[in-house]
Amino acid sequence: MEKAKNLIAFLFQRSGKERLNEKEIYMTLSYELRWLTPEKAKIFLKRCLESGLLKIEGDEYTPNFDYKSIQVPLGFKVDESIVEEDIFSSIVKEIQKNGMDKEMIFKEVEALKEKMGVIEEVAALVLARKNGIDISPFIPKVKKIIENM
């Protein structure tokens, strides 16, 4: 999720625009930067909408966070692994099944993240556990994320 947030910040900071249409995003990711195929760029965009990182107004996309305050690391680059199953989104979906609103989930995850000094996936696991969700299926994937840091 953090990589996706950095990528969105990178795209919008690079463009100098506050709104981008679908074509601008695909063209940048696929043809200019050659980081993703057009199909993978579409999947990335869809996942960003589902996870709440992006919102759509008409035919234009805008970040759902303060992308200007993100310090994108020097030499930042992504590959197609960014569109693999997003564990954070999967945990959020499970919490939503318990009746919690997505916006509230994001707020609580952010608060837990700050309070505990952990990554958002761990904070989401803590929130899921507090809501009585069996988190055991998610633990190996979150552990792998931590190990790869």
Between 43 and 15, the more confident residue is: 15
**Strand intervals (E) in the chain:** 20-21, 54-57, 60-63
Task: Assign 145 a pLDDT band (cuts: 50, 70, 90).
Answer: confident
Domain ranges of the chain: 2-83, 87-147
- The model carries a pTM of 0.61
Q: What percentage of residues in the chain have a pLDDT greater than 90?
A: 67
Q: What are the residues whose beta carbons fall under 8 Å from the beta carbon of 87, sequence distance 6 or more?
A: 121, 138, 141, 142, 145
CATH class of 2-83: mainly alpha
- Of 3-7, 78-82, 127-131, the poorest mean pLDDT is in 78-82
Query: Residue 17: its pLDDT value, please?
Result: 96
**pLDDT tens, residue by residue, 79-109:** 877 776 678 888 998 999 999 998 999 999 9
Asked if 116 and 123 count as a contact pair (C-beta separation under 8 A), the reply is yes
- Check: CB of residue 10 under 8 Å from CB of residue 72: yes
Pairing between strand 54-57 and 60-63?
Answer: antiparallel
Residue 51 has pLDDT above 80, yes or no: no
- Check if the beta carbon of residue 11 is closer than 8 Å to that of residue 28: yes
